[in-house]
Every structure is written in structure tokens, then in C-alpha cells.
Structure 1
Amino acid sequence: MLIALLAVLGSAGTFVSVTGNASAHNATPPSGSPPVDPSPSPSSPSVTDPTDNAPADASTSASAGSSRTPADAPDDPAGPAGSGSPSGSTGPGQSVPAAGDFADIRSVRPGPRPPRDGPGASTGTFTSDCGRNEERHNNPDNFIVTPGVRNGAHHLHDYVGNRSTDAFSTDGSLRTAGTTCAGGDKSAYFWPVLRRLSGGDGPSSGNGQDPADGNVGRVLTPSSVSLTFRGSPAGKVAAMPEGLRAITGDAKAFTNGTANARAQWTCTGFEDRRLADKYPLCPGGSRAVRVLDFPSCWDGTNKDSANHRTHLVFPDRASGRCSGGTKAVPQLQMRLTYAVTPRPRAFALDSFPEQLRKPVTDHADFANFMPRDLMARAVACINSGRRCR
């Protein structure tokens, strides 16, 4: 009996010991402990776990912040009011991209060249100077896709051009509002904001944001914004009608697939290299660039369509020609540059919650409200090969 009892106690002792080790391994860290970052070292961003969405290590971010080079320094460290501030907390309503969502631009091969200009190509450009959203016109609305719905986008937009743009914008309200653009261009230009991440950003609120959407971080004002209308390599362009709506990219490309994705990420000095599904890590002295090309083949009748795409489509990638039944109008290209720290998970795009702030979801919107004479001037410049603004 004594031997049997000792055997049972010995077994129980072994069980307790194993259970104790398992508890220590899985224990919840004490309150105030920094979150564990399971991602690989930023020095080897190509070896990553693409499913890893844990916050960046706060101590690493703090260290990097204290040694920024001038090219990494933020243009606007404060960001818009209500854009979120570091709190050291983690939990629901916070989202950062995976370390695998970043790539060194120097590892990317140059991409294909655009179509060659054919006889009669319209080689000019017209640039609308509308600022960098220094006025901090931000909201999470989208009057094109979700009209009349506050926070219909579930991510914050930067706006330039029309000063009144929000969920309830109409042709009438946009036509009579003020503008940040030169020459009286009252068009609405908007895109999701880019944010600087610190590793301890609290939920964002203000500007109509819902903290549950998870778009944490400090909103960055672009270093530069270029809004350029270009011609067609296949012929002349016609004027856009007032009120024409246009979208590029797919805000839900991570879950929808890439059929409508148009994201292009690159760096200054490396713009022949483009990334579609990675954020760029740029070398010293170079800035991150977002390039957003819009469709430019109009059906000649409709200013919008049910899916906001079929009335205005992209030209053929190889030839630049518009398909039968559509005609070329000036193609808008947005080019946005940013001073960001070249480290994985140091910055991110705003997105719908389920899109996990993936770079492939980059997109932008436009509604044309140029005065008729300004549009006529833009078309004349483009068709005659001049560069105007």
C-alpha cells in the first residue's frame, strides 16, 4: 500500500510540475508590459509571416524615432485633430499591417514601359494645383460610393479641391462651394490617408471616425501632391462633362481579389519600379510615393454607373487605345509623396477593418467640377502637346 501511495503521489507531482510550466508559458503578461512582437527583424523584411498583424514593438519604434534622418522626419508630426495619439495600449479597434507587407524598393525590378505614342497622340499635360490638404479637410465619407452615409468609407480621407466634400455632397453643393485649387477648379479629389505608426497608438476618433475601424496612427500630410491630367498615346482627348465621377483601385482588394486593384507604390528616384501589394522601404534621401492612375475611356453618356466603373474604363494596357464605344478623355494621375521611416510597420494606409490596412487596397476618387472654360483649356493643352497648369 505504501509503495502504491508513493507511486500515485509521484505521478501527481510530475503532473503538477508540467502544468506549472505550461501555465508560465501561456500566462498573460502583467498589466503595463509591452506587447510581444513576433515579427522578424526589420533588417530582413523578406522573411516574414504574412498573417502576423501584431503591433510593432514600442521600444523599437521609440529608438528609431530618436535617430531619424532628415528624409524620415514627418512633415506634420501632430497630424489632424482627433487623428489618434500614442497611448501604449493594444487591443480591439487597432490594426497595423504585417511585416511582410513591406519590401525594399531596391529589390524590385523595373516594370514595363507605357505604350508608345502613336500618330496623333495627345502628349501634353494639364496640372491642377490644389495644395496638400494643409487645411486638414478629412472625413471617413464617400459621396460617390456611399452617398448620404456618415463614415460610409470606414477609413479617413484626405481631400483637396472642393472645400465642401462630405457624405451629403451633390452636384449643386459642389458647384457652389469654394476650392483649394488654382484657376477655379472645384473638382473633388480624395484618397485614404497614410499614417505614421509608433507601436503604441490608441484608437482614432474625431473627424467622424469610428475607433472600432482600427485605423490607428498619426495622419501624415503629404510632402507633395501632383494632380496631372494626361493625354492618350492613341489620339486626341475630348472634354470631361461636369459631374463625371471616377474611382481607381479597389478599397476591398484584399478580400475581393485584385481584378480592380490599381495600387502603385514606389520611391522617389526609383519610379520605374512599382509595387502593387507591398509598401515601399525607401533608401535615405528618398520618399515614399503613391501613384494613382484613373480610367480615361468614357462611354460618352453617363456620369456614373451602378458599380462606378463601367461608364469610365481603362484603356488597353498594351496600346493605350479605348475600346469600341468609348472615347478618350484626360487621364487623371495623382502622385503623392511622403516622408516616412523606412522600416516595416512604421506607416500604413487607412482601410476598411477587414482589409487589414493592406497596401493593395490603395484607391482614390474624383468628381469633375472644373469650369467649362478651364476644362477646354486643359484639353487644348493636352491635345497640342503643351504642359500647362
Structure 2
Amino acid sequence: MQPAAITDNSWRGILRINCDLSHSGYNDPIVYPGQRDAAHLHRFYGNTLLDEHSNLTSLFTTGESSCQGDELNRSAYWVPALLAPSYEPTSDERLLDNNGEPAWKIVPAVVGNDDEAHEIFYYSAGVDDLASIQPIPLGLKMIAGNHMGMPGMEQDTSIVRWHCQSWESNDATNPRWSSSIPECLAPDRLRMDIFFPSCWNGTDLDSYDHKSHLAYPVNNGGPNGTVCPASHPVPIIRVSFHYAYGVKPEVYDPQSRSSRGWRFASDMYDVSSSTPGGMSLHGDWFNAWHPEALQAILDGCIRQRLDCHDGNLANGYRLTGTRAGSQTEPPIVNKGLGY
């Protein structure tokens, strides 16, 4: 099947892929390389062998992938876990953990179903000149969003944002977004978007803060439209994460039947009905795509201005389906903030 052309006021050209959860843990090979259990609780997608010791060689040459493309796509994607207060199902009383603190449970994302696509990783164009876009260099590391986000330090919703699926939010006609987790009522879904920078300095695969080697495109009203700034002149494929979380009885607030009280594992502030969670929304990405596969995405979908779903490369080939990862979960320590 040939993908359809993009619609007006939409993406310039895009490939969407789905992934299953690979595994969870308190590691982060970008921020805390070599340090076990040094981070908040993460949900990992992609390379099944990712751990605190992972580097470009290990990612590119070992492991399978829980994402479409399997060994063509050994990249690693991770976000903090989304947590919901844990209640006793018959009395609706708040449960306590082994330390006598309020207990939490994982809110699973709606991913990994090849029969009903919920593509959560997008590869698209961040600038208007599609011919200028380059593949992402192998081994590039990057972080989007701020793990220090909190009340008084709300983040820009053009980079990271939450919304209820029923809002039908879109950038063209209904830019209704939230910097914190809104109260979405069952059977709605809570959705989140994370947009990574897509302008590279052309030299470094990482930087001291894992951000400075990259920048976001700018539009100064000139004749070339949206372009990369002079400090980061190389436009690369834009990566973005898009998750849906079901507001279901096993995780919703029993009184409001909503996402009230949910928090991100990286939230370093007290979450309440008046101070919603999720302000620390951010994500990490470590590129280990096979270069020829990433070039095919750029040539077939992005530069041709097509809307490629479900791993369709628009060249007669489709990436293989998702692979189930580990279904075990580590304990939730310190509200997900870790050890």
C-alpha cells in the first residue's frame, strides 16, 4: 500500500512506528553512564539489552528491538514512568507500601498492538526545506524537556505537553495543551507529546547537558520559512514521542474516575488536586538505527511529503512488527524518584 500524501496544516512528511515496552529500571546510560540504579524509574523501548553500560557499539551490534524494524532499529527510547495512586479496590482507601508511605502503581501506555496501531515514535521534518534534511548521525544522544520542571517552572508546550484525547487538540486549529497532567475522565485517554530538537551543530554526538549540541528550528518570517539557526546549521530528521494512557478503573482516581493524582516518576514536588503532576515531562533518545534504513525513511516518506504509518517505508517495504519485551516491573521506590 502506498502511503497517502500529508494533509494541509499537518506534518511536512512523516513515518510513524510502534513499539512494545522493552523493560523498566532505574538506569540512564546518557545521564548516569555506568551507574546502576542512579536515576528515577524509566520505561525503556527499543533495544532489549539497554542498561547503564550501553554505548554505541553495544546498541548497534547486540540485542533485539521491541520496536518495528527489529535489528534495523536498535535505537533506545526512554521516558519516566507514569504513576497513579494505589487504592484498595473495595473501600477506595489509599494503600500504603512496605515503608508505610502512600503506594503507587504503573499506568501502562497503549502500545505494542500491531492490529490496532498506536504509533508512539514519529520521524518527521522540522524545517521547511525538505531537501536540506540529513539523516540523524549514528550514536547521537539527546534529551528533550526538563526533568526539573515544576510549579513556577512550567515548560513550553511546543516542546513537551499533555492533553486529553477527547480535546482533539492539534497545532493548526485547536492548540489546547497543558504543561501538567489534566484530569481526563474515563474512558478517555491521557496523551503526551515530546518533540526533540532537529538542528545539529554538525560535530558533536553529545554535550555536557545532552542538549547543547542541538537546537530547535526557528522561523523569523524570512523567505525560507522554518530553518535551523546559524549556531546549529545542520537540519536532521525530527524525532518525537507520542503516548496514550488509558484512564481505566485499575488506575483512575475512584472518586472522580479521572487521571487526578497521577504523577511522573521524575516529578520532584508534591502532587495534589491543586498541583497536578507531569511538569517534569522529558524523554531520552540514543540513535542506533541502521544508516540505510534511516536513509530510506528520509527518502521515501519525509522528502516525498507522505504520511507513512505502521512502518511503511513507501518503497515497497514495511518494517517488521513489534516484539514483546519484559513484562516484569521493579518496585516503585520513593514515588518513582529511585534509590
Residue 29 of structure 2 corresponds to which residue in structure 1? 143
Counterpart secondary structure, 2:209: coil
**Cα gap change, 1:231/1:158 in structure 2, threshold over 3 Å: closer, same or farther?**
same
8 Å contact kept, 2:12–2:128? no
8 Å contact kept, 1:128–1:185? no
Counterpart secondary structure, 2:77: strand
Q: Which has the higher contact order (CA 8 A, sep 6+)?
A: 2
1:157 lines up with 2:42 in the alignment: yes
8 Å contact kept, 1:215–1:350? no
User: How far 1:265 sits from its partner (Å)?
Assistant: 0.4
**Cα gap change, 1:361/1:215 in structure 2, threshold over 3 Å: closer, same or farther?**
farther
Match for 1:310 among 212, 215, 219? 212
8 Å contact kept, 2:35–2:52? yes
User: How far 1:344 sits from its partner (Å)?
Assistant: 6.1
Match for 2:236 among 322, 326, 329? 329
Residue 15 of structure 2 corresponds to which residue in structure 1? 126
Residue 219 of structure 1 corresponds to which residue in structure 2? 106
Equivalent positions of 1:1-389 (< 5 A) are 123-131=12-20, 133=21, 135=22, 137-153=23-39, 155-175=40-60, 176-183=62-69, 184-199=72-87, 200-203=94-97, 216-224=103-111, 225-236=119-130, 237-254=133-150, 257-258=153-154, 262-270=159-167, 271-272=169-170, 273-316=175-218, 320-324=226-230, 325-340=232-247, 341=252, 342-343=257-258, 345-351=260-266, 354-356=268-270, 358-380=277-299, 381-388=301-308, 389=311
User: How far 1:269 sits from its partner (Å)?
Assistant: 3.2
Counterpart secondary structure, 1:218: strand
Counterpart secondary structure, 2:258: coil
> Percent same amino acid at aligned positions?
24
8 Å contact kept, 1:124–1:383? yes
- Number of matched residues? 259
Letter in 1 for 2:129: G
**Cα gap change, 1:338/1:173 in structure 2, threshold over 3 Å: closer, same or farther?**
same
Which is greater in Rg? 1
8 Å contact kept, 2:14–2:122? yes
Q: Which ranges in structure 2 are unaligned for 5 or more consecutive residues?
A: 1-7, 88-93, 112-118, 272-276, 312-339
CA distance in 2, matches of 1:349, 1:331: 24
CA distance in 2, matches of 1:326, 1:259: 25
RMSD of the alignment, in Å?
A: 2.8
User: How far 1:233 sits from its partner (Å)?
Assistant: 4.0
Letter in 2 for 1:322: C
Letter in 2 for 1:173: S
CA distance in 1, matches of 2:18, 2:179: 29
For residues 284-332 of structure 1, the C-alpha deviation after alignment (integer angstroms, 9 at most, x for no partner) is 4421001111111111111101111111111126753210142211111
Structure 1 stretches of 4+ moved >6 Å: none
Segment of structure 1 superposing worse, 227-236 or 298-307: 227-236
Q: Which ranges in structure 1 are unaligned for 5 or more consecutive residues?
A: 1-114, 205-210
CA distance in 1, matches of 2:152, 2:47: 30
CA distance in 2, matches of 1:263, 1:238: 24
TM-score, with structure 1 as normaliser? 0.60
CA distance in 2, matches of 1:303, 1:288: 33
CA distance in 2, matches of 1:287, 1:317: 33
Counterpart secondary structure, 1:359: coil
8 Å contact kept, 1:276–1:359? no
8 Å contact kept, 2:75–2:286? yes
CA distance in 1, matches of 2:145, 2:165: 22
